[in-house]
Amino acid sequence: MKRIYKYSVGIVSRQAIIMPKNAAILSIQFQDGSLCMWALVNPEAPNESRTFAVIGTGHDFPHDVDWTYLATVQDGSYIWHIFEVKE
């Protein structure tokens, strides 16, 4: 059985989010002023910690990292780009 779960995402350079193993990220958007991530998960799978980064347009971007792009979202005049950090 799979379900769609919602996770809160902070606007910080790096953060760990605990979710079921092999969760598939579906969307990242603002909902009621908060940045949220929706993922298709198997709730019976063991949990794992995944690391995400939120980088603003014009901010420094590390050149020596293995990051996977997930989404770009608008927050008024701010634009945020969300990546999964592969460590």
Residue type, 42: N
What pTM was computed for the model? 0.91
Question: How many structural domains comprise the chain?
Answer: 1
Query: Cα separation of 5 and 20, whole Å?
Result: 10
User: pLDDT 10s digit of each residue in the chain, 87 long?
Assistant: 899 999 999 998 899 999 999 999 999 999 999 999 999 999 999 999 999 999 999 998 887 788 999 999 999 999 999 999 987
* Per-residue exposure over 47-65, b if at least 16 CB sit within 10 Å of its own CB, e if not: eeebebbbbeeeeeeeeee
Question: Domain range holding 65?
Answer: 3-85
